[in-house]
């Protein structure tokens, strides 16, 4: 029965783990061994889709009987991909360039059923329209939220909302890094009962 299937999240991201925990399913997490370099001329959409599948496939090779979830996210302004800043100065520079801009987050999602070989793959877009803000606001925000491991240099689940004008998309969990609405649909197709049975 599907209830006995092993579910593996192919990610060590604390954000994705927290999102998957919302579904109240038992799951394991495994680190994918995938190079995340962008290919020449690769769009943000294509990058997110390719890496999501690569991560799921790598972990599925180690869990051949499991349902394996892979996900990857790229943030872009047009075809320019935004990086994770890593430090305060780069985050400040990135946010200054984003003032008044619209950032599209492309969250790739892949589910592989190792038992049947079936794969589901897609990309969920979510757009954040930034308001205009000045250097003082950027400094205050960064000192409080410290979003140095986040693409675009802001956390939507933190104080980042203070920088937004509006958001646009079908699934707000995609913005954080794991589109739960689409994932739930795919897990049901794979035979997982959601909401799950109480234990």
Instruction: Mention every residue, 6+ apart, whose C-beta is less than 8 A from residue 144.
Output: 159
Model confidence, pTM: 0.89
Across residues 106-115, what is the average pLDDT? 97
Closest by CA position to 58, among listed 27, 29, 32, 37 = 32
- Rounded to 10 degrees, the C-alpha dihedral 22/70/185/169 comes to 80
Percent of the chain scored above 70 by pLDDT?
97
Has residue 194 been placed in a domain?
Answer: no
Has residue 197 been placed in a domain?
Answer: no
Residues 154-180 have pLDDT tens digits of 988 889 999 999 999 999 999 999 999
Has residue 199 been placed in a domain?
Answer: no
CB atoms inside a 10 Å sphere around CB 81:
17
* pLDDT tops 70 at residue 199: no
Q: Which residues are catalytic?
A: 72
Has residue 137 been placed in a domain?
Answer: yes
Q: Total domain count for the chain? A: 1
Helices of type H across 109-179 = 135-145, 172-176
* pLDDT tops 70 at residue 104: yes
* Measured distance CA(22)–CA(180) in Å, rounded: 9
User: Is residue 59 within 8 Å of residue 10, measured between CB atoms?
Assistant: yes
Has residue 156 been placed in a domain?
Answer: yes
Q: What angle is formed at CA 103 by the lines to CA 169 and CA 74, rounded to 5 degrees?
A: 90
| CATH label of the domain that carries residue 149 | 3.90.950.10
Note down the domain range covering 106: 2-189
Has residue 183 been placed in a domain?
Answer: yes
Has residue 107 been placed in a domain?
Answer: yes
Has residue 32 been placed in a domain?
Answer: yes
């Amino acid at each position: 029965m599907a209830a006995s299937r092993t579910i593996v999240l192919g990610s060590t991201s604390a954000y994705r783990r927290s999102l998957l925990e919302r579904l109240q399913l038992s799951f394991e997490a495994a680190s994918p061994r995938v190079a995340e370099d962008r290919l020449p001329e690769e769009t943000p959409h294509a990058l997110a889709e390719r890496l999501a599948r690569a991560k799921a496939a790598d972990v599925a090779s180690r869990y051949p009987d499991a349902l394996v979830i892979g996900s990857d996210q790229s943030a872009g302004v047009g075809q320019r991909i935004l990086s994770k800043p890593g430090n305060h100065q780069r985050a400040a520079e990135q946010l200054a360039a984003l003032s008044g801009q619209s950032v599209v987050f492309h969250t790739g999602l892949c589910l592989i059923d190792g038992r049947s070989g079936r794969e589901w793959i897609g990309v969920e877009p979510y757009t954040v329209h930034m308001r205009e803000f000045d250097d003082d606001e950027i400094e205050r925000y960064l000192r409080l939220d410290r979003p140095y491991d986040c693409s675009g240099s802001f956390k939507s689940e933190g104080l980042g909302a203070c920088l937004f004008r509006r958001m646009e998309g079908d699934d707000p969990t995609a913005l954080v890094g794991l589109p739960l609405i689409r994932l739930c649909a795919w897990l049901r197709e794979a035979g997982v009962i959601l909401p799950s049975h109480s234990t």
